[in-house]
A and B are shown apart, each in its own frame.
Chain A
Amino acid sequence: MSYFKIFAVALLGAMLAGCPSTPIADPDPVDTTYGNDDSSADTAGMGDGDPFGGAEMNDPSAGELGMVIYFDFDSSEVRAEDQELVSRHAMQLNDSMGNVRLDGHADERGSREYNIGLGERRAQAVRQMLMIQGVSASQIQTVSFGEEQPVAMGSSESDYAENRRVEITYTN
Chain B
Amino acid sequence: MIRKPISKIRAVVVLAMLSGLAQADLVIDVQGVSQPTPVAIVPFGWEGSSPAMPVDVAKVIQSDLKRSGRFAPIDEAKMLQKPTDGADVDFQDWGFVGVEAVVVGKVIQTGDDTFTLQFQLFDTFQRRQLVGYRMTATRNNMRGAAHRAADMIYEKLTGIKGVFGTKVAYVTADQRADGRLFSLYVSDQDGENEYKIMESKDPIMSPAWSPDSRQLAYVSFEGSKSSIFVQTLRSGNRFQVSNKPGINGAPSFSPDGRKLVVTLGGIDGNPDIYILDITSRESRRLTTHRAIDTEGTWSPDGRYIYFTSDRSGGPQIYRIPASGGTPERITFEGSYNARPRLSPDGTRLAMVHNDRGNYRIAVMNLERKDLLVLSTGRQDESPSFAPNSDILIYATRQDGDGVLESVSADGLIRQKMASGRGDVREPVWSPFPRFQ
Partner of A114, one of B265, B267, B292, B425: B292
Q: List 21 A-B contacts (CB under 8 A).
A: A110-B381, A111-B295, A111-B352, A111-B381, A112-B206, A112-B425, A112-B426, A113-B249, A113-B339, A114-B292, A116-B226, A116-B249, A116-B250, A117-B265, A120-B269, A121-B269, A121-B292, A141-B225, A148-B221, A155-B397, A155-B400
In contact, A145 and B247 (Cβ under 8 angstroms): no
Q: A113-B205, A141-B245 are in contact. List 10 more A-B contacts (CB 8 A).
A: A101-B224, A108-B379, A110-B336, A112-B206, A117-B247, A117-B263, A120-B247, A145-B221, A148-B221, A149-B203
The 3 lowest CB-CB distance pairs between A and B, nearest first, are A117-B292, A148-B203, A111-B338
Interface flag for B315 (CB, 8 Å): yes
In contact, A110 and B359 (Cβ under 8 angstroms): yes
In contact, B268 and A124 (Cβ under 8 angstroms): yes
In contact, A114 and B359 (Cβ under 8 angstroms): no
Inter-chain contacts of A116 with B (CB < 8 A): 205, 226, 247, 249-250, 263, 271, 294
Closest to B358 in A: A109
Interface flag for A137 (CB, 8 Å): yes
Inter-chain contacts of A111 with B (CB < 8 A): 295, 308, 315, 338-339, 352, 359, 381-382
Partner of B400, one of A110, A118, A124, A153: A153
Q: Could you tell me the distance in whole angstroms from the C-beta of B370 to the nearest C-beta in chain A? A: 21
A114 and B292 CA atoms in complex are apart in Å by 8
A145 and B86 CA atoms in complex are apart in Å by 58
Interface flag for B255 (CB, 8 Å): no
* A residues 128-160 touching B (CB-CB < 8 Å): 137, 141-146, 148-149, 153-155
A111 and B175 CA atoms in complex are apart in Å by 22
Interface flag for B132 (CB, 8 Å): no
Interface flag for A123 (CB, 8 Å): yes
In contact, A155 and B379 (Cβ under 8 angstroms): yes
In contact, A143 and B400 (Cβ under 8 angstroms): no
Inter-chain contacts of B310 with A (CB < 8 A): 114, 117
Inter-chain contacts of A165 with B (CB < 8 A): none
Assign chain B's interface to a size class. 35 or more
Interface flag for B246 (CB, 8 Å): yes
Interface flag for A127 (CB, 8 Å): yes
Partner of A113, one of B295, B378, B425: B295
In contact, B379 and A143 (Cβ under 8 angstroms): no
Mark B residues whose CB is within 8 Å of A: 173, 175, 180, 203, 205-206, 221, 224-226, 245-247, 249-250, 263, 265, 267-269, 271, 292, 294-295, 308, 310, 315, 336, 338-339, 352, 354, 359, 378-379, 381-382, 397, 400, 425-426
Count how many chain A residues have C-beta atoms less than 8 Å from C-beta atoms of the other chain: 29
Closest to A149 in B: B203
In contact, B224 and A143 (Cβ under 8 angstroms): yes
Q: Could you tell me the distance in whole angstroms from the C-beta of A142 to the nearest C-beta in chain B? A: 6
Inter-chain contacts of A114 with B (CB < 8 A): 292, 294-295, 308, 310, 315, 338-339
Q: Could you tell me the distance in whole angstroms from the C-beta of A130 to the nearest C-beta in chain B? A: 13
Q: Could you tell me the distance in whole angstroms from the C-beta of A128 to the nearest C-beta in chain B? A: 9
Closest to B223 in A: A143
In contact, B203 and A117 (Cβ under 8 angstroms): no
Assess A112 versus B382: contact at CB under 8 Å? Given A148-B205, A149-B203: yes
Inter-chain contacts of A101 with B (CB < 8 A): 224
Q: Could you tell me the distance in whole angstroms from the C-beta of A105 to the nearest C-beta in chain B? A: 11
Assess A118 versus B426: contact at CB under 8 Å? Given A112-B381, A113-B206, A143-B226: no
In contact, B271 and A120 (Cβ under 8 angstroms): yes
A101 and B267 CA atoms in complex are apart in Å by 12
Inter-chain contacts of B354 with A (CB < 8 A): 110
A120 and B225 CA atoms in complex are apart in Å by 12
In contact, A110 and B315 (Cβ under 8 angstroms): yes
Q: Could you tell me the distance in whole angstroms from the C-beta of B262 to the nearest C-beta in chain A? A: 10
A114 and B291 CA atoms in complex are apart in Å by 11
Q: Could you tell me the distance in whole angstroms from the C-beta of A167 to the nearest C-beta in chain B? A: 11
Inter-chain contacts of A109 with B (CB < 8 A): 359, 379
In contact, A144 and B247 (Cβ under 8 angstroms): yes
Q: Could you tell me the distance in whole angstroms from the C-beta of A84 to the nearest C-beta in chain B? A: 23
Q: Which of B247, B352, B378, B426 has the most A CB atoms < 10 Å from its CB?
A: B247
Partner of A120, one of B175, B265, B315, B378: B265
Closest to A148 in B: B203
Closest to B179 in A: A149
Q: Could you tell me the distance in whole angstroms from the C-beta of A171 to the nearest C-beta in chain B? A: 9
Inter-chain contacts of A118 with B (CB < 8 A): 292
A101 and B250 CA atoms in complex are apart in Å by 22
Closest to B315 in A: A114
Inter-chain contacts of A153 with B (CB < 8 A): 175, 400
In contact, B294 and A113 (Cβ under 8 angstroms): yes
